[in-house]
Amino acid sequence: MPDQFLYAVEVIINGLMAGVLYALVALGFVLIFKASGIFNYAQGVMALFAAMTLVGIQKGQIPFAKLINTVMGTELEHFPWTVPVIPAIILAFGVMILFAIIVEKYILKHLVNQPEIILFMATIGLAYFMEGFGDIMWGPEIKKLDVGLPQGGSFWIEDMTIGLGGENFYGFFIDKLDMVATVVAILLVAALTIFSQYSKQGRALRAVADDHQAALSVGISLRFIWVLVWSIAGFVALVAGIMWGAKSGVQFSLSLIALKALPVLMLGGFTSIPGAIVGGLIIGVGEKLFEFSIGPLVGGATENWFAYVLALIFLVFRPQGLFGEKIIERV
Amino acid sequence: MKFRLTKLAVLAFLTAAPAMASELVFPSLSYRTGPYAAGGIPYADGYADYFTLLNERDGGIGGVKTKIIECETGYNTEKGVECYEATKGEGALVYNPLSTGITYQLIPKVTADGIPLYTPGYGRTSAANGKVFSNVFNFPANYWNAASLAVNHLLDINGDDLQGKKVALLYHNSAYGKEPIRTLEELAKKHGFDLTLLPVDHPGQEQKSQWLQIRRERPDYVLMWGWGVMNQVAIQEAANIRFPMENFIGVWWSGGEPDVLPAGDAANGYKAVTFQGVGSEYPVFEDVQEYVVDKGLAAGAGDNIGTALYNRGFYAAMLMAESARNAQDIAGNVEITPANMRDGMEALTITEVRMTELGMPNFGPAFSVTCENHGGPGTGAIQQWDASAQTWSLISDFGPSDMEIIQPLIDADSNAYAAENNIELRCN
Amino acid sequence: MFYREAGDFKTSYEDDSQTFPIKFDRLRYYAVLAVAFGIIPFIINDYWANAVFVPLMIYTIAAIGLNILTGYCGQVSLGTGGFMAVGAYASYKLMTSFPDVSILIHILLAGAVTAVVGVLFGLPSLRIKGFYLAVATLAAQFFLVWLFNKVPWFYNYSASGQITAPERTVLSIPVTGANTDAWAKYMVVLLFVTGCAWLARNLTRGSLGRSWMAIRDMDIAAEIIGVNPLKAKLSAFAISSFFIGVSGALFFSVYLGAAEVGEAFGIQKSFLILFMVIIGGLGSIFGSFAGAAFMVLMPVLMKNIFVGALGWPTDLAAHLEFMVIGGLIIVFLILEPHGLAQLWRIAKEKLRLWPFPH
């Protein structure tokens, strides 16, 4: 096979993997939008906050150490213990549940029935707040995230495929971390599907997503559902934070991954979980392939805008996204 | 409207009364928050700690205490303006904003206000031409020196022959990242290597395309002009594709501890250009321990001493303190104005003897600044990362860069600026 | 007591439909103008101009522009930063290509160029709605930033891609470049902000404004009663982009003096201006002023309190600043979802009845 073709295949495979990582972030958006009609701008910051919390718990950092030291004049830094990975993840999830409860109690409850843009704005306020809060709680420096995920290209795949091309072909490069992310994403989607299809709370969740008022009238507690869905979104954020944090260390820029998820949302539709996955894959492959084929001609760094333009083109033909609910307008 | 005015009244109350006390004021436009905090924190700590050391050990400079006014910019140009305007009334002697964007927009302002601007190893490279830029200094080295120093290192390890080698430049797609391109293109012509350009958009979390391209094309060397999260991801991705780390060379802003630590052992052997010494094996750091850290006066968390960026801030502060001392001598008065400070910087001479006196032998080059040359000697060395010991070490001496290539570029760019802004050439 | 219609007789239709129907309101408006034009220029210094008034007024122009699109016409846009970049680069190219033409004309022309670009990126709005449109305008944001970064013609082939504003004068007083006096800067921007606010206020009161609001409230219904959605939406995009372009041109040439597209006009700017519009109040010109004031002045105020008055470390202060601003946004939304403008309206209602509320 010609090398150029193999390169393209390699780019497509890596695009799919990147797409899965985008989809992980997008999933959190979709869950919250579906259940409460809120476009949650804070999702990226939630991923950052969750990852920071995880690292902080693992290392036994004392929260708010710097603030306490400044105000009280003490010299606190670390608890005398460290926490293993699994309990730390569970504890971090616990913190995200607590966070969901607080968000519901102090923000969402007061903003019922407001227009979408106001709710959107509230999540922006939330994002600001958490950005400062996370940094005060755990400190702003870059933290190394170590949960035992494998890193680096898979030699096995390289060795298996190196024979396919000529001497300038070195076998397919596939990042082990990306493979793990793919498996995790599949498990996560499967778990979410099973949960929403077969559990009582899941059915309630779908009922709320269909129609708030009808759900209320049959006795479903809207407030409980909101806490539930924000908790799940918190868990998704934790997973996304772990996957992205393993690549770059946990730091402020982690909150910017939300921007990578927006075109995925547009393409897949704000209300569809499979849409987030398929949208992620299309965006991942599309931007990587464009950078591979057209990028060198126009000077590269096209990925950021191309994802949006690709989504825009899709939208012109399907204004509700690929899998979004059909927008029905009545006067 | 009323609402606004009441607010303003409150503001006025809070920002009132700039004090003209007998202190030497060194504003530090730092960033300890935002996407580039990891680089901003150690630099600001180093800059502050040196002045604290002078105050505690020597009672200031020439008997006058120094004062650091820290102002948080978050690497944001508008906050940079606010910080500049807020601090310049306090008798600020020299600005060091550690941001290319803020530098560009301060250059005309400081020139009009008569305050010097010091941008070691960053900012506008062509400001090295003192004939055009009267108030801007970027000694001891600039980006174009760095590009040449990296190529010199490649020449060294290839027996002075780069004919037919492939070099890729991975750069932050911004003004900062684009700086070295022209120099490298000239150097590529001179030495006959192929140059590939690989831009990475801000923030640079996703670099798979670029690294797959590197893996396909197998350049012999990769140079990096990165900042922030881009550095960590690039080093991790290089490790992922098993790119030989010793062939991967970063500019000095891609050569801090936070850049290599997240990649762990895989970062072993990564190289970076530097213009100042590394590590804490200098006598001056014993003084820092005694007079600053032990007294609990260290800036920030006090845990960055001896790291690459801390040392750079420390070195910059040392050069500024020496300039201030120089200015005091020239003015014959210990209380100097920004204009005196500018003269002191322009007449600065750093010798080996002086560096040793300061407890920083071989920490940086010996050089003198002249009216024409605000850029210093343009020397630098290569540092390499040892992942097991978690330290940088110098693997070359401080060597010169190729001024034959760089000087014409500096002249061309600065003269274009002079023509565009009707600036008369000085130093004639 | 002072603030009431009683005794304020209207004897013609013009009187009845004037912008400020209440006498006290009208006087207050003239008083503010008199202070802004007659007093502040004489007492302003560099800090107040560069750190407070100039950015505040430039952001106000941008917020008015976005408010026309989002608040009056209901089209959420996140491309503001990109459109400001168009204004900035257009003014830079014009300034350097035609140095003899007045800078004021260049700034208006930059607005016009932006209007054309805005219409182009507004075309998808005919099919895409709501948040989908918001995210679609991000395509404009990222594409424009990339374009200005990539094509050297836009920055006159300078080594790093930074653009720097050369000195230009109005009536032989420098208004751009480093030698500009604080008052000159202030006056130029004040002229534009007054003109823009006046224009926007009258546009939104006229038939065009009514057609926008009809589209905003329900576009299908508006179409049925005869509002042309193509014309209404695209005119909103054009006029909104014009304002944003003017603000971008001022931002670059008068305020910063040098800019780099990714840093100065990035996605953060788009969000910032949207915050201003929502915090201030959708569909209100006064809201644009109030929102811009909130987002520009709050951080400065916070910083001065935490660092200046309490002497805390700058990083801790910066983090707290984020928390307080975020918290305030949420509190404002919970107390008054329609923004600062609504608080102002309520205050006026109260004042009208005061001191006899029943």
Which portions of chain A are predicted below pLDDT 70? 1, 165, 167-168, 331
The helix/strand/coil state of B367 is strand
Q: What is the per-residue pLDDT for B10?
A: 47
Preceding amide of A84 cis, omega within 30: no
A121:C279 CB<8 A: yes
A240 found inside a domain: yes
CA distance linking residue A258 with residue A123, whole number of Å: 13
B170 touches chain A (CB under 8 A): no
Dihedral sign for Cα C237, C238, C243, C244, please. positive
Paired sense of beta strands C169-170 and C173-174, if any = antiparallel
Full 3-state SS string of A162-182: HHHCCCCCCCCCCEHHHHHHH
- Cβ-Cβ contacts under 8 Å between B and C: the total is 150
φ/ψ of residue A211, rounded to 5: -160, 110
Full 3-state SS string of B175-215: HHHHCCHHHHHHHHHHHCCEEEEEEECCCCCCCHHHHHHHH
CA-to-CA dists, residue A214 to A210, A224, A326, angstroms: 8, 16, 20
Picking from B123, B153, B150, B151, the residue whose alpha carbon sits closest to that of residue B138 is B123
Whole-number percent of chain C with pLDDT over 70: 97
Picking from B381, B145, B147, B150, the residue whose alpha carbon sits closest to that of residue B247 is B150
Number of domains composing chain A: 1
Q: What is the CATH number of the domain that holds C59?
A: 1.10.3470
Number of domains composing chain C: 1
Decide if pLDDT at B6 tops 60.
no
Which of the residues C35, C146, C263 would you substitute to probe the B interface, choosing the one with the greatest number of B C-beta atoms within 10 Å?
C263
State the residue for tokens 């001179």.
B190
Rg (CA), chain C: 21
B368 touches chain C (CB under 8 A): no
Q: B85: which chain C residues are within 8 Å (Cβ-Cβ)?
A: 46-47, 50-51
Residue B343 carries which side chain, given as an amino acid letter? D
> Using CB atoms and an 8 Å cut-off, which of residues 228-257 of chain C contact chain B?
255-257
C326:A299 CB<8 A: no
- Express each pLDDT in C3-16 by its tens digit: 666 677 778 877 77
B238 touches chain A (CB under 8 A): no
Q: Which residues contact A280 (CB under 8 A, 6 or more apart)?
A: A19, A20, A21, A22, A23, A24, A26, A264, A268
Picking from C311, C32, C302, C301, the residue whose alpha carbon sits closest to that of residue B12 is C301
A330 found inside a domain: no
As beta bridge partners, residue B25 has B67, B92
Q: Which residues contact A303 (CB under 8 A, 6 or more apart)?
A: A287, A288, A290, A291, B201, B206, B209
Length of chain C: 358
How many helices (DSSP H) and strands (DSSP E) are in chain C?
17, 4
Q: A131: which chain C residues are within 8 Å (Cβ-Cβ)?
A: 319, 322, 326
In this prediction, residue C358 has a pLDDT band, given cuts at 50, 70 and 90, of low
What tokens were used for B286? 């014993």
A173 found inside a domain: yes
Planar angle of CA A116, A121, A122, nearest 5 degrees: 100
- Set out the domains of chain B in order of their start, with CATH numbers: 20-141+279-377 (3.40.50.2300), 143-274+381-406 (3.40.50.2300)
CA distance linking residue C276 with residue C65, whole number of Å: 11
Instruction: Give the residue from chain C lying closest to A309, CA to CA.
Output: C139
For chain B, the 3-state helix, strand and coil shares in percent, each to the nearest 5, are 45, 15, 35
Planar angle of CA A114, A117, A121, nearest 5 degrees: 100
- Express each pLDDT in B128-161 by its tens digit: 898 999 899 988 888 899 999 999 999 998 988 8
Burial (CB count <10 Å: 0-12, 13-18, 19+), residue C196: buried
As beta bridge partners, residue B169 has B197, B223
Q: What is the CATH number of the domain that holds A33?
A: 1.10.3470
Q: What is the per-residue pLDDT for B377?
A: 87
DSSP C151-177: -GGGGTT-SS--EEPPP-EETTEE-SS
- Express each pLDDT in B379-412 by its tens digit: 899 999 998 988 999 998 888 888 888 899 889 8
Q: B85 vs chain C: nearest CA distance in angstroms?
A: 5
Decide if pLDDT at B348 tops 70.
yes
A175 touches chain B (CB under 8 A): yes
Q: Which residues contact A167 (CB under 8 A, 6 or more apart)?
A: none
Picking from B196, B218, B172, B209, the residue whose alpha carbon sits closest to that of residue A295 is B209
CA-to-CA dists, residue B4 to B1, B331, C290, C292, C306, angstroms: 5, 45, 7, 10, 21
- Express each pLDDT in B39-76 by its tens digit: 888 999 999 999 999 999 888 888 889 988 888 888 88
The helix/strand/coil state of B86 is helix
A326 found inside a domain: no
State the residue for tokens 């309101």.
C25
Instruction: Give the residue from chain C lying closest to B107, CA to CA.
Output: C178
Q: What is the per-residue pLDDT for B14?
A: 45
- Express each pLDDT in C12-40 by its tens digit: 877 777 777 777 778 888 888 888 888 88
Q: What is the per-residue pLDDT for B19?
A: 41
Q: B103: which chain C residues are within 8 Å (Cβ-Cβ)?
A: none
- Helix residue spans in C49-181 (DSSP H): 54-66, 80-97, 103-122, 130-150
Decide if pLDDT at B275 tops 80.
yes
CA distance linking residue B181 with residue B171, whole number of Å: 9
Q: How many CB atoms lie within 10 A of CB B153?
A: 20
CA distance linking residue C216 with residue B179, whole number of Å: 47
- Region B310-329: mean pLDDT is 92
Instruction: State the chains in contact with C (3 or more Cβ–Cβ pairs under 8 Å).
Output: A, B
B262:A299 CB<8 A: no
In this prediction, residue B316 has a pLDDT band, given cuts at 50, 70 and 90, of very high
- Express each pLDDT in C269-321 by its tens digit: 998 898 888 888 888 888 899 999 988 888 888 888 887 777 777 878 888 88
Q: C28: which chain B residues are within 8 Å (Cβ-Cβ)?
A: 1-2
C215 found inside a domain: yes
In this prediction, residue C1 has a pLDDT band, given cuts at 50, 70 and 90, of low
A137 found inside a domain: yes
Instruction: Give the residue from chain A lying closest to C123, CA to CA.
Output: A316
B70 touches chain C (CB under 8 A): yes
Picking from B250, B213, B222, the residue whose alpha carbon sits closest to that of residue B165 is B222
Q: What is the per-residue pLDDT for C170?
A: 83
C243 found inside a domain: yes
Please give the span between the terminal C-alpha atoms of chain A, in angstroms, as a whole number.
58
C337:A115 CB<8 A: yes
Decide if pLDDT at B12 tops 60.
no
Q: Which residues contact B157 (CB under 8 A, 6 or more apart)?
A: none
A303 found inside a domain: yes
Decide if pLDDT at B362 tops 60.
yes
**H or E segment to which residue B272 belongs:** strand B271-274
Dihedral sign for Cα B122, B127, B129, B134, please. negative
A299 found inside a domain: yes
Q: C298 vs chain A: nearest CA distance in angstroms?
A: 13
Picking from B120, B40, A268, B211, the residue whose alpha carbon sits closest to that of residue C314 is B40
ipTM of the shown complex: 0.85
What tokens were used for B175? 């003004």
CA distance linking residue A39 with residue C134, whole number of Å: 11
Dihedral sign for Cα C108, C109, C114, C116, please. positive
CA-to-CA dists, residue A257 to B26, B204, C326, angstroms: 37, 10, 20
Q: C282: which chain A residues are within 8 Å (Cβ-Cβ)?
A: 117
What tokens were used for B54? 């002078």
Domain span holding position A69: 3-317
Instruction: Please answer whether residues C329 and C275 qualify as being in contact, where contact means their C-beta atoms are separated by less than 8 angstroms.
Output: yes
C25 found inside a domain: no
The region, left, alpha or beta by phi > 0 then psi within -120 to 50, assigned to residue C130 is left
CA distance linking residue C242 with residue B92, whole number of Å: 40
Preceding amide of B97 cis, omega within 30: no
Residue B378 carries which side chain, given as an amino acid letter? G
Q: B233: which chain A residues are within 8 Å (Cβ-Cβ)?
A: 247-248
C248 found inside a domain: yes
Domain span holding position C122: 44-353
Residue C245 carries which side chain, given as an amino acid letter? G
- Cβ-Cβ contacts under 8 Å between A and B: the total is 105
- Region C73-79: mean pLDDT is 89
Q: What is the per-residue pLDDT for B13?
A: 43
The helix/strand/coil state of B337 is coil
What tokens were used for C223? 């179409």
